[in-house]
Chains A and B, each alone.
Chain A
């Protein structure tokens, strides 16, 4: 049977969208594993129903495998789960009201569950994270320099990196990388040609826009919940 991953992020408390995705996935052929790459919460709406559903799936739900995202990091900071630090970046950029909205949107009883979530998963040769292997808040996009993308792949020692923070959907392959390195030290000189095996960074989208990944063929499908599966049109440059 075909093995597929469904990669979801940015639900931000939207249980309706999550239910729509679950409904979609029931109709999707193959053996599906559902990964939720963070931002399950947000300041816009009450997140308790969604969190309850993620923690306690219905009997016919696909079991969600969750990691924390940028908004989870903000609430953990603000709630004292990161030592003396608070969500100052959020406070400065969005204001005190948004900080309050975020803390009001999530019942404190869920904080321990959020705090126990992992930064990411490594499955096969793939890294599944919210932002990047450097920072949960880092945006990786089609415009990110390839050297930076390679570095983020190298840090996790993976060949595929699934990222959600940018909210964009893309599948960028890095192929035929080469660089010549010459080192001179007290023992003399040595030269080495380093090549990069084929690697890729995949933006999975956010909210209703999610990604199906076929593990066997390395193909991605960019999907909008509630609509039939379609391949998205993407090109270089800003979206």
Chain B
């Protein structure tokens, strides 16, 4: 059966509506959301209420956590002080706009959702703030899936959709100073695992302007990345009207990167 996985909606209502329409047109009713319903975008309450109304199972993203608990991401989450300032402004704006009911909803979202062999998280099984980038160290990536006792790990947070298969792995282990000799060495076969990043519905950072999500078939194990066009102008106008930083609209419209993300994929925020 096909199921859709969406992530990083970022209060971009036109993008969310377009993606949900695309999912509906494919006849998919099983949807999982990987969080970051809010942040950057101008319609946080509307997006939360849409996801709530449709009863879409959702993990808590880093923005969802931060607007509830206060900023706890360290400076490493931002590539520059300017980006940090913009992020903090959007955080405060979002916190001020959200209704108490919607804050409670975000506060009670789970960190992860497990369905059979699949684990759904926002960033990584370690933290909502950890980036699993597509080309991060393969052994570290495999460790994230394996230690989470999953076969497929669905994540978001990077805003870059990808499917990564880690296969045919092995490690030889040797104990120095060991006797008897026959217990000194062994080779351990590593399991085949996959990481699927759903990209971002509301804040794409893949070089284009289209919203992305993924469709997973749990029978064939096939995963497809979907790109969806939406009315970007509508979102951009709402960003400007709301008084949010104009760069948020500019980068949506131009499909440019300027991502507020850490370069060190292995970093785990300790705050």
Interface of A toward B, CB cutoff 8 Å:
134, 142, 145-148, 150-151, 154-155, 170-186, 192, 194, 196, 200, 219-220, 222, 231-236
Contact = CB atoms under 8 A, between A and B. Distances in A.
A171 B177 CA distance: 7
B147 to A, nearest CB: 6
Interface string B39-63: 0000000000000000000000000
Ranked 10 nearest A-B pairs via Cβ: A179-B169, A185-B162, A177-B171, A171-B176, A194-B138, A151-B143, A176-B172, A235-B183, A147-B143, A181-B138
B137 A154 contact: yes
B138 A155 contact: no
A194 B139 contact: yes
Contact of B165 (A173, A176, A182, A196): A182
Contact of A177 (B170, B186, B225, B227): B170
A233 B184 CA distance: 11
B174 A172 contact: yes
Contacts of B225: 184-186
B266 interface: yes
- Interface of chain A, main secondary structure: strand
Contact of B173 (A172, A181, A186, A231): A172
Given A134-B268, A147-B142, A180-B169, A186 B161 contact: yes
Nearest to A176: B172
A179 B138 contact: yes
A57 B171 CA distance: 44
Given A174-B173, A179-B168, A235-B179, 5 more contacts: A150-B139, A175-B171, A185-B134, A196-B171, A236-B186
B141, B146, B164, B173: residue with the most chain A Cβ atoms closer than 10 Å:
B173
B167 interface: yes
Contacts of A222: 177
B206 A179 contact: no
Interface of B: 134-135, 137-143, 146-147, 160-180, 183-184, 186-188, 190, 206-208, 212, 225, 227, 266, 268
B139 A179 contact: yes
Nearest to B179: A233
A232 B177 CA distance: 6
A174 B183 CA distance: 15
A33 to B, nearest CB: 21
A121 to B, nearest CB: 18
Contacts of B188: 146
A142 B190 contact: no
Contact of B227 (A173, A186, A231): A186
Contacts of A233: 177-179
Contacts of B169: 177-180
Q: Most chain-A CB neighbours within 10 Å: which of B143, B164, B186, B266?
A: B143
Contacts of A196: 139, 171
A68 B79 CA distance: 30
Contacts of A154: 137, 139-140, 266
A98 to B, nearest CB: 26
